[in-house]
Amino acid sequence: MTVQEGEEIRLLPTRDARLVPYALVALASLAGALVAGQPVLAALAVPFGAALVLGLRHRGPMAIRVRVVLDQEQVIEGTPVTGRIEVTWDGDFSAEVMLHGLEGVTSEEELAWSFPRTQASGPTRREELPLALEAAHWGLHGIGEVWVRLEAPHGLLSWSGKLRAPPALRVLPRSERLDRLLDLADSRSVWGMHLSRRIGQGSEFAELRPYVPGDRLRDLNWTATARQGRPFVNRHHPELSGEVVIVLDAFGDGSRISTETLAQAARAAWALASVHLRANDRVGLAGIGRSTQWLPPGGGRLARYRLLQTLLRIGGEAAAGRSVAPSLHRIRVPPAALILAISSLENMESLDALRGWRSRGRSVVVARIDAFDTLETLTPSEALALRLWRLELELRRRSLAQVGIPVVSVRAGEPMAGVVPALRRVRRAPIMRRGR
């Protein structure tokens, strides 16, 4: 359960549309009575003056306490999110509450509540507003903005404001789609595909050399020892086979096809990261989009947790539309790292970054998520535009292949098994070096 500490919001007054007309009528009546010498004109100002006196009894800032409680702090895409909003205020005021600007969640009902003034409420009034939402987009989200509004009886002023920091909700990629994205039978082929050049303890044979003091006796090669007449030992590659950096292209225009492609890419990134962590690789994550997120390669449970947190931050920024100038210089990929880029090939900045890494000797492979098949029936002009766009994507794929970056196209919802053969090809691709 995610419980936010109740925040006291200071609401500033705003005038009602009736305030100025009432004041003008009252002043005009009094001025007319003085100029014309007709006291009867002053009687017209009495009701408006009384309304001004009653409506302006409360003129200073008002305070209201708001707390948001979510029953779950971590959910899966497509699952319900329940909770409540607790609102507490003093005085005989009517209140309106609205949850606006939902991030990462959707609701079929209108999230607005109204509470009229009542004499039986007492000096302090407290209301609980139920929340029934659905997690729609992966990422780390702030749910939305909680707006509140107070109005006094016969008031000519109202007080409104919003909650500054609603609780965060972690929406994870759907696990069933992860299973379909990565063929678990092919995942075993990742083992040993990019072995470290270092020698140490492990299961993969590296070399045979003479025994020196300090070597383990269980590493003795009895066959070579008997043949050479002196002790020889086996040396192995360490189980930590290499470093992998997953690059997630999070550029998007907010359209349905862009959102679905990014969601598919996130599930693919999480699946690829998981399988490489199970293979004892050190895995890093780079998010290129509205801002740059960079997590250096790491291994073990802590790396898995940090990688998931970074992935959720990328999703939260994409869903909220927050934009910060990308700073690709922050991403310093280790020289021996294998780069797995998941991109739609739509943004030229991401393509330039891939070419730059390749020119500096990094091994790069791209998985392109193709979600165009999810489009509904198109008009002839839309079909022609889609055909031209596919031709443009094919030109971009060939330009990457010319510099040694293979591109594997994966349709939305299909397994990511095609990435494994691409990894074998990228290890055999010639390395281009144009300086460091």
Rounding to the nearest 10 degrees, give the CA dihedral for residues 149, 154, 155, 161. Answer: 0
Lowest mean pLDDT: which of 2-16, 29-43, 156-170, 258-272? 2-16
Mean pLDDT estimate for the chain: 75
Q: What pLDDT was estimated at residue 416?
A: 63
Measured CA to CA, the distance from residue 298 to residue 283 in angstroms comes to: 5
- How would you class 63 by CB atoms within 10 Å of its CB: exposed for 0-12, middle for 13-18, buried for 19 or more? middle
Cα–Cα distance measured from residue 270 to residue 103, given in angstroms and rounded to the nearest whole number: 21
CA dist., res. 122 & res. 379, Å (int): 63
Would you state the pLDDT for residue 420? 60
To the nearest 10°, the Cα dihedral for 415, 287, 275, 281? 150
pLDDT of residue 417: 60
Q: Tell me which CATH code domain 2-15+62-169 carries.
A: 2.60.40.10
| Residue 241: both structure tokens together | 């086979």
By DSSP bridging, strand 112-115 and strand 62-70 are unpaired
Question: Would the pLDDT of 193 be above 70?
Answer: no
Percent of the chain whose pLDDT exceeds 70: 76
In DSSP terms, 69 is beta-bridged to 3, 84
Phi, psi of 423 (to 5 degrees): -65, -40
Collect all residues with Cβ–Cβ distance below 8 Å to 255 and sequence separation of at least 6: none
User: What pLDDT, in 10s, does the model give residues 23-60?
Assistant: 787 787 778 777 777 777 777 777 777 777 777 777 77
Cα gap 80→99, rounded to integer Å: 17
Say which amino acid occupies 136. Answer: A
- Over the stretch 325-337, which tens digit does the pLDDT of each residue have? 556 667 888 887 8
Residue 423 pLDDT exceeds 80: no
Phi, psi values for residue 379, rounded to 5°: -75, 165
Task: Report the SS3 class of residue 317.
Answer: helix
Q: In this model, does residue 2 exceed pLDDT 60?
A: no
Confidence bin at 226 (pLDDT 50/70/90): very high
- Closest by alpha carbon to 263, among 276, 273, 249? 249
Tell me the longest C-alpha to C-alpha distance in the chain. 133
SS3 181: helix
Which of 71-85, 120-134, 264-278, 359-373 ranks highest by mean pLDDT? 71-85
Domain ranges of the chain: 2-15+62-169, 175-193+240-428, 204-237
Q: Which CATH architecture has domain 175-193+240-428?
A: 3-Layer(aba) Sandwich (3.40)
Mean pLDDT of 243-264: 76
Distance between CA 235 and CA 229 in Å, rounded?
A: 19
Q: CA quadruple 130, 134, 135, 141: dihedral positive or negative?
A: negative
Rounded Cα distance, 146 and 225, in Å: 76
Q: Answer yes or no: is pLDDT of 359 > 50.
A: yes
* Cβ within 8 Å of residue 285, ≥6 positions away: 245, 246, 248, 269, 273, 293, 294, 295, 307, 310, 311
| SS3 label, residue 214 | coil
* Crossing angle (nearest 10°) for helices 348-359 and 380-402: 10
Distance, in Å, from the CA atom of 161 to the CA atom of 406, rounded to the nearest integer, reads: 53
Whether the predicted pLDDT of 122 surpasses 70: no
CA 117 to chain CA centroid, Å, is 40
DSSP state of 239: S
Give the confidence band of 192 by pLDDT, cuts at 50, 70, 90: very low
